[in-house]
Amino acid sequence: MGIMSNSNQQESLVIGITGGIGSGKTAVATIIESLGFKVVSMDDIAKEEMMENPELKQKLIDKFGEIVYSDGNLNKTLISEYIFNAGKDNKKHQEEVNQIVHPFAIDEMMAQVEELIEEGEKMVFVESALIFESGLFSGYDYVVSVFAPIELAIQRVMQRNNISQSQVLARMELQMSPQEKIKYADFTIDNKGTLQELETATKFIVSLLADMPPKNFDEEEE
């Protein structure tokens, strides 16, 4: 099994779900949950850790000042503007924030995955936009990438987040290209059609994964 490869539960699979912004990876995760499988969301974990973890909160205050929690809630607008309104420094600012938040989010994700496996789950899915960018992809048994044509992805994000095309593109520029994600992924779901088509494709991938063996991490380390 991946991520916690030193666990005794060697027959369980840890499967990553990733994709660029607007690809539909969250829709795929929702379909997988509807099939009865557990999905751990890195986005949800990061948001919760930024609100609940005292050590992380202090690190964010050290970085941004008390205003980052000025009304008791996380000032998402402040962080978003720091990352996406920095022009040529967008990538640098994103990395600065990720270096603060990711260690806490990853630790919590691993704890949740391990708990689910100990409870007897045979397949646990982790939804994360940055599986490849974070360098953790080799710790998963398998990774599924969700793909959508860039024009469709842009349209989806503009409608969902009520932001401009240029704002969407600024976010896309900070992620690995969809083509790169496909190259590294074990499976790819093409999400350019209807929700019904997405459900059919997702169910097919899940049925394949159910018959796949765990990755042999010991062999890879040799």
DSSP codes, 171-190? HHTTS--HHHHHHH-SEEEE
* pTM summary value: 0.88
In a domain, 216, yes or no: no
In a domain, 172, yes or no: yes
Domain count, the chain: 1
CATH of the domain at 147: 3.40.50.300
Q: Which two tokens stand for residue 55?
A: 């050590």
β-bridge partners, 41:
127
Residue 68 has pLDDT above 70, yes or no: yes
Interior angle at CA 28, CA 25 and CA 32, nearest 5: 140
In a domain, 88, yes or no: yes
pLDDT at position 136, please?
79
For 126-182, the pLDDT digits (tens) are 999 989 988 778 889 999 999 999 999 999 999 998 999 998 998 898 889 889 999
Q: Which two tokens stand for residue 71?
A: 């009304």
pLDDT at position 192, please?
94
Residues 6+ apart with CB under 8 A from 125: 15, 16, 17, 29, 32, 37, 38, 39, 40
Supply the mean pLDDT for the chain. Answer: 91
Q: Which two tokens stand for residue 94?
A: 């994103």
pLDDT at position 6, please?
44
> What residues make up the domain containing 87?
13-210
In a domain, 201, yes or no: yes
Phi-psi region of 22 (alpha: psi -120 to 50; beta: other; left: phi over 0): left
**How many angstroms separate the CA atoms of 68 and 77, rounded?**
9
Place of tokens 């690190």: 59
- Please provide the distance, in angstroms rounded to a whole number, between the alpha carbons at the two ends of the chain: 17
Q: Which two tokens stand for residue 88?
A: 């040529």
In a domain, 4, yes or no: no
In a domain, 218, yes or no: no
In a domain, 221, yes or no: no
In a domain, 222, yes or no: no
